[in-house]
């Protein structure tokens, strides 16, 4: 079970969304796991992740208490992967996010060979996860399904908004902010790249996928 299970969209919408988690088991292997968690994240760098996450400290793009809103106009938008790796200091869940299946497959294969002694979970469409596992020589032992939304679904936000907000499974990105970013991109007030970094900062565990978010914003701007 993972908070990424409830990302909104059909299977095709996850063609550029692959999250690989490493998680220690409390009472079993959390002692001394910090170096292994750091190694897991460092191992992902050659495969060009689009985000790294630490459930305690956040992702590669983070908020800062020392800045005021005006700082967004000249703020460094580049993700800081090394800060995520160096910041892991306690047993936690870490994740590497990829925007293509080949990179995810190669990384999972490398993780299998490294045998870090951690629980590993792949989150994407079911077909995508099975292909990643097959390429790495692994047999899927379980699967988690999201049953979607039930009830008065007409009260839900628009599809593009849901796709942007549900990439933060902890609900830290509001529908209002997502709609504002869509409107700003449509109006030319922000580029999709800028809007994505604003959204990503609110994801407290660092599993937000900027590549998928950028594609969604572009689709919303063009009316697709």
What's the length of the chain? 224
β-bridge mates for residue 54, sequence order:
58, 94
pLDDT at 28 over 90: no
pLDDT tens, position by position, 106-161 = 999 999 999 999 999 999 999 999 999 999 999 888 888 888 888 999 999 999 99
pTM of the predicted protein model: 0.92
Q: What pLDDT sits at residue 160?
A: 96
Give percent of the chain with pLDDT exceeding 90.
76
Q: What pLDDT sits at residue 1?
A: 54
Torsion of CA 25, 42, 18, 31, to 10 degrees: 0
Grade residue 73 by pLDDT with cuts at 50, 70 and 90.
low
- Nearest C-alpha neighbor of 44 from the set 33, 60, 31, 32: 60
- Nearest C-alpha neighbor of 11 from the set 173, 171, 131: 131
Which of 9-13, 36-40, 198-202 has the largest mean confidence?
Answer: 36-40
d(Cα 9, Cα 97) in Å, to the nearest integer? 17
d(Cα 56, Cα 101) in Å, to the nearest integer? 27
pLDDT at 102 over 80: yes
Q: What pLDDT sits at residue 107?
A: 98
């Amino acid at each position: 079970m993972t908070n990424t299970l409830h990302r909104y969209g059909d299977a095709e919408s996850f063609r550029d969304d692959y999250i690989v988690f490493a998680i220690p088991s409390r009472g079993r292997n959390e002692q001394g796991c910090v170096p292994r968690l750091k190694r897991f994240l460092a191992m992902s760098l050659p495969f060009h992740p689009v985000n790294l996450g630490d459930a305690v400290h956040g992702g590669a793009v983070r908020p800062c208490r020392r800045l005021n809103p005006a700082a967004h106009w000249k703020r460094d938008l580049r993700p800081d992967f090394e800060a995520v790796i160096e910041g892991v200091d306690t047993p936690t869940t870490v994740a590497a996010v990829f925007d293509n299946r080949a990179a995810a497959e190669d990384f999972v294969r490398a993780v299998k060979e490294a045998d870090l002694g951690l629980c590993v979970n792949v989150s994407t469409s079911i077909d995508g996860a099975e292909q990643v596992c097959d390429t790495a020589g692994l047999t899927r032992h379980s699967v988690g399904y999201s049953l979607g939304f039930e009830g008065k679904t007409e009260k839900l936000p628009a599809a593009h908004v849901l796709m942007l907000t549900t990439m933060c499974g902890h609900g830290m990105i509001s529908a209002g902010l997502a709609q504002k970013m869509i409107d700003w991109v449509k109006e030319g007030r922000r580029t999709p790249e800028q809007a994505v970094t604003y959204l990503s900062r609110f994801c407290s565990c660092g599993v937000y996928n900027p590549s998928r978010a950028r594609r969604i914003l572009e689709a919303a701007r063009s009316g697709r």
